[in-house]
């Protein structure tokens, strides 16, 4: 079952976001027409409305509005703090940037298809691997690969079902 409705791109761009009169900074990742992830130490509560300015190349700014869907806050440096935002409004600058970025990635994919060593999904697999950590179960000692994005939702051991804690990282 596929969760995402929009194709996502990994692109690091400076972002400022405002909610209830407070303004914060962050870095974007996983951009799409439907949402984005903002890496920040100032993650907002899920359900919060947020105004976002994305600083695009060529000195353009994308103005977005969204709803925070999930927030990750932890003291561990291996886990990327931030928040996932579902976009409810996007401006033309942002949509044009996504279209341009999509065309470039499609062209690169076509060029790579002709070479024997090309692996179009290798970059995505590497990104996914960096988004997981190994946690040993405190009850049965089985090592579990846990997505850092789902860690705050209360990960459980795949064998015995015991709750996994961040302090049990191997």
Report the alpha-carbon distance of residue 48 to residue 66 in Å, rounded: 8
CATH classification of the domain holding 21:
2.40.10.220
How would you write the pLDDT of the chain (170 residues) with one tens digit per residue? 445 566 777 888 999 999 999 999 999 988 888 899 999 988 899 999 999 999 998 899 999 999 999 998 877 666 678 999 999 999 999 989 888 876 655 555 445 444 443 334 434 444 444 577 888 888 998 888 887 766 667 788 888 988 887 665 54
pLDDT at 124: 44
Number of independent structural domains in the chain:
2
Report the alpha-carbon distance of residue 131 to residue 135 in Å, rounded: 13
Report the alpha-carbon distance of residue 120 to residue 126 in Å, rounded: 11
Reading the block at residue 70, the tokens are 């999930």
143 and 109 co-located in one domain: no
Beta bridge partners of 163: 156
Reading the block at residue 15, the tokens are 């972002």
Per DSSP, 163 falls in state B
| E strands present in the chain | 14-19, 22-29, 35-39, 49-56, 60-72, 82-90, 132-136, 143-147
Residue 9 inside a domain? The answer is: no
19 and 85 co-located in one domain: yes
pLDDT at 125: 41
pLDDT at 104: 58
pLDDT at 78: 61
Model confidence pTM above 0.75: no
| Domain housing 151 | 131-168
Count of other CB atoms within 10 angstroms of residue 164: 21
Count of other CB atoms within 10 angstroms of residue 147: 12
């Amino acid at each position: 079952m596929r969760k995402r409705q929009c194709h996502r791109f990994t692109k690091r761009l400076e972002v400022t976001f405002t909610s209830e009169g407070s303004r914060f900074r962050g870095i974007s990742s996983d951009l799409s027409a439907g949402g984005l992830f903002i890496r920040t130490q100032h993650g907002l509560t899920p359900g919060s409305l947020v105004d976002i300015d994305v600083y695009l190349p060529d000195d353009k700014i994308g103005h977005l509005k969204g709803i925070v869907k999930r927030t990750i806050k932890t003291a561990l440096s291996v886990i990327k703090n931030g928040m996932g935002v579902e976009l409810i409004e996007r401006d033309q600058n942002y949509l044009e940037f996504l279209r341009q970025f999509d065309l470039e990635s499609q062209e690169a994919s076509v060029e790579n298809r002709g070479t024997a060593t090309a692996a179009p999904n290798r970059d995505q697999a590497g990104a996914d691997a960096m988004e997981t950590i190994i946690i040993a179960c405190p009850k049965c000692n089985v090592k579990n690969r846990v997505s850092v994005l789902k860690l705050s939702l209360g990960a459980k051991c795949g064998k015995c079902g015991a709750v996994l804690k961040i302090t049990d990282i191997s």
